[in-house]
Structure 1
Amino acid sequence: MPSKQAEAVKRYWAAVRLASEQPDAEHPDTESWGDLTAEPHDVDYIETVAGGLPAMWAVPKRSAEDRVLLCIHGGGFVGGSIYSHRKMFGHLAKATGARALIFDYRLAPEHTHPTQVDDATAVYQWLLDQGVSADHIVFAGDSCGGGLAITTQLRARERGLALPAAALPFSPWVDMEAIGESYETNRDRDAFFTVKVVRELAGTFLGEDSDPRDPLAGPLYADLTGLGPIYLQVGEDEVLLDDARRLEEHARKAGVDVRLDVFPGMQHTFQMAAGRAPEADEAIRRMAEWVRPKLGL
């Protein structure tokens, strides 16, 4: 049974759903998403510009300066920011013992695919240009940011860039068609997402001319051969459960070292309750434990 603290994530998504269905209801903004997260202690935040985009360093005390988590926020490509996600990625950076670089990519509908993957690739290129070795970088991202943690590697590979040491996608959104079985089996468990919602977000992100099976939008149709290890996390009760399952299967068939952990009773991006919910803290602990050896820590 989910903890009382984890239930706050479910209440947040339920409030978002209510606001989408009833125009008069109070609509939680995407910055309030970050209110789910407790402030991590001993983490400093430094705003900067990376690859021409607004960015923020999360720097835990006594962290390794030459190891970096490149963190890509979620928000359905229409919301989220360095501010909504700074604390959650701060927890991950602190547990890992590395710095985190969080950045704002341009959002839909003003900017459609492939803007977001190109923005993320530009930030990765900037990080390499700062002298950080690719094998000292790990991509981390939630929801659509989890998808970008994979597709950014594909774009980087196209451009001849060295690939990062590993990737940490959690609750990844990688199926722009929303055809996974869990859209039906978890229909009554997911507090917000439905086939209709996800397809509307996909349409906004893709614009009029993009194919939902474009590998740079939906990596389930990409050649993942040669990518580094991937550790996936997902909530058992979210409709995007099969996104993670299908990505795990697709990566394994491509010869990628991949691990998938499904957290019982959890909602989409439950890790946002880090510092409050034991399930979120356990998820962060597992990610850090898995990734530290990949970074040589």
Structure 2
Amino acid sequence: MAEVGILDETPARRLAALEAQRIVQRIATESGWWRQLADQAIAKIENRLIERILISRLRAGLRAATSEELAEATISKMRGAYTSGQMETLPSFLPRPKYAISNAHGSYLDPASRPEYPARVLYVPGGGFIFPISARQKTMMTRLAEQTDCEVVPGTHRLAPEHPFPAAAKDIAAQFIELTKSGDESPLFLGGDTAGASVVLGALQILIEEQVSPLPKGIILFSPWADLSLSGWSYITKSVTAESPFRMETAAFCARLYLGSHSANDPLASPIFADQDTWPPLLIHTSENDLHFDDAMALAENGLKRNVKVQVNYWDSPRHHLERLSSKDAARSFSEVRSFIEAQLDP
């Protein structure tokens, strides 16, 4: 048998192998060439601005860490501004939500006029494990609900560093179990983006370990952060080439606040190290410039080895988590999610 050299394991060859097996497909941005050039130029400026903002906040956080009282005041102020939308890092061009959060689970429709839905999605938005759900994230979840015709329930969990790993994953697992016992028998999916994806997949492993039945019908992930050890090539290449608004330093800072002294290789924290036996089908959306791109590839490779149904769609977009934008790419992403949900309901 021929030896496998290091060049045979390059990201490009791994990606080509997955594309050949139709596990992964590339989706071209739906806009003219001039629009793409303009979008790329704007994205580069946006990425550099976001990078500077994140680094400045990281420095502020490190300065505040010298005093417990100052650290608590600083993170409380940041969370308040983040929740209101005044301090959100990523710009988001979305319309205002049509519905207000009204019931105990945070669902987006008035229970008095709540129609029947084909499915529900318990969705965990990212916040680096340390920030609560923001106003714009709620708007994005509303669009997800409208375009998939499903009820989207915001997943809420305790925040690091006050409540470190695995508190967040345990909270989402408990919320999932509560929803299964709510009397609503419509199928339930799990979804999440960025750091929320790690929490979602950690919760899934807890549900499997506790032999909860039924498990989620499927898992929907946008730009998933699934490796807190930052071992993928994309963490290096996207940081060095400045193709992503995020850098390894900021990712490492958030991971440390969440993990404390716990190992980043724990599958509950970094699901790329998990045994995916008995996992439900996975739909993963990302972009080729995403800092977490290799995480998506690793999840697909591991799922393939375990006969898990996995589909990865990646865009040639310069945007991180493109679903937050009111764009053709975002609409296509939600359309793919709708098709995925329908396929699980009527295989």
TM-score by length of 1: 0.85
**Cα shift readout 1:135-178 (whole Å, capped 9, x = no counterpart):** 70111110011222222111111222121100101100010111
Unaligned runs of 5+ in 2: 1-32, 61-77
2:187 maps to 1:136: yes
1:73–1:142 CA contact under 8 A, matched in 2: yes
What secondary structure is seen at the aligned counterpart in 1 of 2:340? helix
Distance in 2 between residues matched to 1:287 and 1:6, nearest whole Å: 25
**Cα shift readout 1:84-109 (whole Å, capped 9, x = no counterpart):** 31111111111111111013211111
In structure 2, which of residues 260, 273, 276 is the aligned counterpart of residue 224 of structure 1? 276
Structure 2 residue aligned with 1:49: 104
Unaligned runs of 5+ in 1: 51-55
Structure 1 residue aligned with 2:92: 36
In structure 1, which of residues 254, 260, 269 is the aligned counterpart of residue 312 of structure 2? 260
Distance in 2 between residues matched to 1:35 and 1:258, nearest whole Å: 30
Structure 2 residue aligned with 1:194: 247
Amino acid corresponding to residue 290 of structure 1 in structure 2: F
Structure 2 residue aligned with 1:15: 49
What secondary structure is seen at the aligned counterpart in 2 of 1:176? coil
Shift of 1:39: 2.5
Question: Over alpha carbons, which structure has the higher Rg?
Answer: 2
Shift of 1:20: 3.2
What secondary structure is seen at the aligned counterpart in 2 of 1:65? coil
Shift of 1:286: 1.4
Q: CA RMSD in A?
A: 2.9
What secondary structure is seen at the aligned counterpart in 1 of 2:107? strand
Distance in 1 between residues matched to 2:41 and 2:277, nearest whole Å: 38
2:224–2:292 CA contact under 8 A, matched in 1: yes
Shift of 1:22: 4.1
**Cα shift readout 1:198-226 (whole Å, capped 9, x = no counterpart):** 11111111012x11111111111111111
Amino acid corresponding to residue 127 of structure 2 in structure 1: G
Structure 2 residue aligned with 1:287: 337
2:297 maps to 1:241: no
Q: 1:201 to 1:129 in 2, by over 3 A?
A: same
In structure 2, which of residues 196, 214, 230 is the aligned counterpart of residue 178 of structure 1? 230
Distance in 2 between residues matched to 1:199 and 1:17, nearest whole Å: 14
Distance in 1 between residues matched to 2:41 and 2:157, nearest whole Å: 30
Distance in 1 between residues matched to 2:217 and 2:54, nearest whole Å: 39
2:190–2:218 CA contact under 8 A, matched in 1: yes
2:55–2:250 CA contact under 8 A, matched in 1: no
Q: 1:44 to 1:11 in 2, by over 3 A?
A: farther
Q: 1:157 to 1:214 in 2, by over 3 A?
A: same
Q: 1:260 to 1:154 in 2, by over 3 A?
A: same
Distance in 1 between residues matched to 2:48 and 2:100, nearest whole Å: 31
Amino acid corresponding to residue 44 of structure 1 in structure 2: Y
What secondary structure is seen at the aligned counterpart in 2 of 1:36? coil
Q: 1:10 to 1:49 in 2, by over 3 A?
A: farther
> 1 or 2, which has the higher strand percentage?
1
Amino acid corresponding to residue 339 of structure 2 in structure 1: E
**Cα shift readout 1:16-56 (whole Å, capped 9, x = no counterpart):** 3212334699x984635486142367x42333334xxxxx2
Distance in 2 between residues matched to 1:8 and 1:75, nearest whole Å: 24
Q: How does 1:27-176 map to 2 (within 5 A)?
A: 29=82, 31-32=85-86, 33=88, 36-39=92-95, 43-50=98-105, 56-59=106-109, 64-65=116-117, 67-81=119-133, 83-133=135-185, 136-162=187-213, 163-176=215-228
1:9–1:36 CA contact under 8 A, matched in 2: no
Distance in 1 between residues matched to 2:323 and 2:82, nearest whole Å: 18
* Most deviating of 264-273 and 238-247: 264-273
Structure 2 residue aligned with 1:53: none
Distance in 2 between residues matched to 1:269 and 1:260, nearest whole Å: 14
Distance in 1 between residues matched to 2:137 and 2:42, nearest whole Å: 16
1:3–1:277 CA contact under 8 A, matched in 2: no
Q: 1:3 to 1:150 in 2, by over 3 A?
A: farther
What secondary structure is seen at the aligned counterpart in 1 of 2:99? strand
